[in-house]
Amino acid sequence: MTLVKAMRRREFLGLSLGTTGALLLAQCSRGSSPSSAPGSALAQAPVYSSDGGLLSFDLVAEVQQVKLGDRNANLLTYNGQVPGPRLEAKPGDTVQIRFTNRLNQPTNLHYHGLHIPPTGTGDNAFLEIPPGESYTYEFQIPANHPAGTFWYHPHYHGLVAEQLFGGLAGLFVVRGELDEIPEVQAAQEEFLVLKDFALDRGGNIPDPGHMAQMTGRIGDLLTTNGQFNPALEIPQGGLLRLRLLNASTSRFFWLSLEEHPFYLIATDGGAITSPIELNDLVLAPGERVEVLVKGDREPGQYRLLNQPFNPAQGMMGGGRMGGMMGGGMMDGTPNRDRAETVATLTYSGTTASLPLPTQLIPVEALPEPQTTRQFTLNHGMGMGMVFLINGKAFDHNRTDTQVRLNTVEDWEVINTGTMAHPFHVHTNKFQVISRNGQPAPYAAWKDVVSVSPGESVRIRIPFRDYAGKTVYHCHILDHEDRGMMGIVEMQPA
């Protein structure tokens, strides 16, 4: 990055964001060099699968020393693992999690993306599990739940950023229809949990520092399943199914794979109608995608690259896909000089060439909304930075939005601030209808959508079942903890 560019960003961001340019510079200078060799083989977290319709296990949150690459790190872990164990269940299954909090602060669990009750022992973001106490979560995954890549993480307001940044996150996979499409089934499946960390010399997580107030805490260590640049192998001719989660607190990932396009097959909420070819994609914090990669190049090594993404930059003039994947292509084309390698793909052996699927699963067209609401995102000064929705900071005693079950609503999310905000809704997924009036290029189920400065994004949400209160918020979790969250109450029809 040139100094001029950094300076221009500083001006653009204004006083409170003055450190961002420097932050991005610091990130760039620590990138792995283009020649950096891949590390050890990609590891996968232990898997806890349902059996006979029941997924039942113990889960403990506690500080543990774990390896991050070759470094010793004192992190916050689920069952001693970073990322936490991968949970796998099917539609109709019962889930029973005997959770114990061995942290020195309160916590709880949120099941991000699952369509389950937001109340009681379900996906209840309002629960407080004090240090030393246990709680049993129990819920059923509805029989008509789509297959997809979901995840779990803490959601105790005020401590979410700190606890997630410390390492608390794991995948929650629902297996179903998408997994049974023959071409998808034939692909080699790999889960990639992308997450940044920061460590001091003692292997502890340093204090986030002043700049994190605005940008959210961002670490310079990029990990994939807790590893640095792990190696992935497929045979030439083979098909790879990458299931990607951005589990970072605040960092966006802007990904491309050398010489290989991605074939997008699923977004946050599950499958799309048919694969879409992409050269790169932006994953905001909390977002997931599934992509297929065809092993149809010369044998060799290909880097999965992440380039610095500036969340203060709008996506005006940005690319095609940025529109949907929430974020933006900084200058339209990837600039790979400043990229870091997050994983390396190597061909090993050959196989008869596997085809891509042509059809996936239809995304239903939603009816016109009964109600349209506006949610304006901005920030201000309070005790330090505060982040606001419609001028208000989160108050757990206030219900901000009341909706009726069996209705469809359009929510217009307007960013009048200076940073992108990935807007997330619990319990009910949505479709992006338009961005600054431009219709979305294709239909997809989402639960996070990044809204750049100056943008207005219209999302359409069906409220069908589950009465009760839940939340919507910015998934830059420092923003959420500093107020950018509201309560929606779903009322019986």
Q: Does 294 help bind ligand C2O (rule: CB under 6 A)? A: no
> 48-67: which residues touch Cu ion (CB under 5 A)?
none
Q: From the list ligand C2O, Cu ion, none, pick the one residue 288 interacts with, judged by a Cβ distance below 5 to 8 Å according to partner type.
A: none
Comparing CB distances to ligand C2O, the nearer of 312 and 471 is: 471
Q: Does 112 help bind ligand C2O (rule: CB under 6 A)? A: yes
Q: Does 479 help bind ligand C2O (rule: CB under 6 A)? A: no
Q: Does 482 help bind ligand C2O (rule: CB under 6 A)? A: no
CB of 257 to ligand C2O, least distance (A): 26
Q: From the list ligand C2O, Cu ion, none, pick the one residue 294 interacts with, judged by a Cβ distance below 5 to 8 Å according to partner type.
A: none
Determine the Cα angle at 460 with ends 458 and 464, to 5°. Answer: 160
Binder among 110, 145, 217, 251 for ligand C2O (CB under 6 A): 110
Binder among 216, 286, 327, 417 for ligand C2O (CB under 6 A): 286
Instruction: Say how far apart CA 491 and CA 469 lie, in whole Å.
Output: 9
Residue nearest to ligand C2O (CB): 112
CB of 90 to ligand C2O, least distance (A): 22
Instruction: Say how far apart CA 333 and CA 268 lie, in whole Å.
Output: 24
Number of residues that bind ligand C2O (CB under 6 A): 9
Pattern 96-135, binding to Cu ion, x per CB under 5 A? ----------------x-----------------------
Comparing CB distances to ligand C2O, the nearer of 13 and 218 is: 218
Number of residues that bind Cu ion (CB under 5 A): 6
- My answer on whether omega of the bond before 308 falls inside 30° of 0, hence cis, is no
Pattern 416-435, binding to ligand C2O, x per CB under 6 A? --------x-x---------
Q: Does 446 help bind ligand C2O (rule: CB under 6 A)? A: no
Q: Does 90 help bind ligand C2O (rule: CB under 6 A)? A: no
> 400-459: which residues touch Cu ion (CB under 5 A)?
421, 426
Q: Does 469 help bind ligand C2O (rule: CB under 6 A)? A: no
Comparing CB distances to ligand C2O, the nearer of 38 and 422 is: 422
Q: Does 199 help bind Cu ion (rule: CB under 5 A)? A: no
Comparing CB distances to ligand C2O, the nearer of 145 and 288 is: 288
> 327-356: which residues touch ligand C2O (CB under 6 A)?
none
Instruction: Say how far apart CA 212 and CA 201 lie, in whole Å.
Output: 20
CB of 331 to ligand C2O, least distance (A): 29
CB of 3 to Cu ion, least distance (A): 27
CB of 76 to ligand C2O, least distance (A): 16
Q: Does 89 help bind Cu ion (rule: CB under 5 A)? A: no
Binder among 9, 115, 145, 473 for ligand C2O (CB under 6 A): 473
Q: Does 155 help bind ligand C2O (rule: CB under 6 A)? A: yes
The upper half-sphere exposure of residue 402, i.e. CA atoms within 13 Å in the direction of its Cβ, equals 5
CB of 354 to ligand C2O, least distance (A): 33
Q: What are the residues binding ligand C2O (CB under 6 A)?
A: 110, 112, 153, 155, 286, 424, 426, 473, 475
Q: What are the residues binding Cu ion (CB under 5 A)?
A: 112, 421, 426, 474, 476, 479
